Chains A and B, each alone.
Chain A
């Protein structure tokens, strides 16, 4: 079956979830939402809490609009669990992953969601803000980031502002449309490169110098994963982010 960056990223995020995990994503997150539905469809046992208060919404009901609020993350839920409770759960150390994205990221895993250019009080471009990221990054067990546009304006040498930052003591993973980075000794290294691209393309699109000479090829999506993906996302809401 044919696949592209959208399918590859959804599959890669779904594979990051482990049995028994409790995972969360917020609004504006179609790729993680699709990955949660896919992981459920593939039979992985985990708990999925959402910004719509829905716990484990029915993955067989496909998302119909490009929103991760609304019925897309609520219909068929087994329980209602509010955002305040989700933050309490995280603060008590029981949330495994909060899926986050960014506008700028540097090699040490600093994330900028606040502004680009100028100053905080008089920015050139005011960004939406980091939502819960500064609270959740320090307390979730693993940080898993996704970014659908891997280029030098996103993966930068230096962020204009650090809205949140990686905890070097914890697992920190970045899934882009080209590769998977993981944090080693406080620095992001290319863990593996997606089959349709190369380490050279990753280097050309990353604002910091990548010194490693080779990287593993990330395993392509399986037929089973791609078939399940078509089943749970027939309206291809995952493409909203591309």
Chain B
């Protein structure tokens, strides 16, 4: 989690990068690459005779194997293998069990990091990601013959703050000093723009194995201005494999296959998919339920299968264009990035959508790492080019009733600083809870919680008199700092971080490596806080209703509601439980609703 809480006025410590070598890393869902730029040329590092390192980790006798070795183990049926871990970097994004059907998951709540057993070991996505990054670091050193520890790492444009935080942490654990996390489509545009000296508005269409990103960039005289960005962090070529596998199951009567066979079928689906970029009809043999099978699929059927997938893509494209206030015709060219853009139906769809062929002259696998390497060079040695980035998701605060007040809307250019004034809602209120959230929805419950802290020492004043200034500061790195100060006293107030909320990197590290105990407490505390705030809100409402009823001339006191309110009011934050808060809030709410009818 990349939320730094600090006292107002305290200077942020900026590390100045030395003019040492720095690399660009494309940390992909299915494979990773490392590239370096020497000021003129960019090259992809060859690791074990290949530019591509599978993002796969296997556990062999308590030792981690990474990359090709792990992939080979996976092929040979080794059980303790983890792949596609990038899909799990955001604890708020669910559906991992679909993404990785064979992993042994432990049950976990939304908002917690995924946990899984590899062998006898308990592990998590950050640890696995760190193993991949450690391996890349070791190999980089071997190839370049010197130690390199600075890197620009790419992430999907639509990665949330939490997923970015998790990526940073993984890099730190692997010994990398992260110069910057940049978006994958942006990295591609940098490579494209610098190499080809292009000007104008370009849409980067980045469809990888597990993520889908769309970014619109304005390229002008070596300025790379990100105009808008959008996407889906759980959509990619893997979904196409699933679609084909589901179709094969249905057509060949394989609905009842077990987990291992399921995995084999997915591999066959992937193979058929790849064949269909070259041929009209793809075929493959397999052995299922004791029988040899011959699988066949033709291009037209494949295109039909992809229809729902393509309409999802169309919807996202429309959304991004709309948020940039642009139309299809404003886009000069559509650039293809990511291995899954090799799919012919996707290319055909884009040609139809934009009315012209998408540009396929970028190397879909290499371009992101190359762009990252160029940016790494620029950040360590200075450069004539300039990248102007935006925040991908809106940042806001929780206000009364669980409603989100957006402070910095998505697609705002960064760095950005916005100060907003808030006030107290109760007489003599001396504290205020500040809950920072990320997302586009109106209700806190539908957004992602980034952290919570409280401002204390507000002078006792009538409701609405205190002036609390909350400042959101997003630096060029996309890192968010939130500070709050009370103005009427003229003095700055220190901010207190609530214990049990993993807000700093150190805390997060502890959270990750202490067997997740603190994470559980964290979640509980958060859930409890939520329930408490909600109950207080409902209580206030009910008290108002009771008061209003008393004041009516025919005033019959509502004794049933009064009793319920009294009961609920006895509950204290310290001694009540989350369930109790929830129960009373629900009962009061239901009573209130039925009363209205």
A binds B: no
Q: Which residues from chain B sit less than 8 Å from chain A, CB to CB?
A: none
Q: What is A's interface to B at a CB cutoff of 8 Å?
A: none
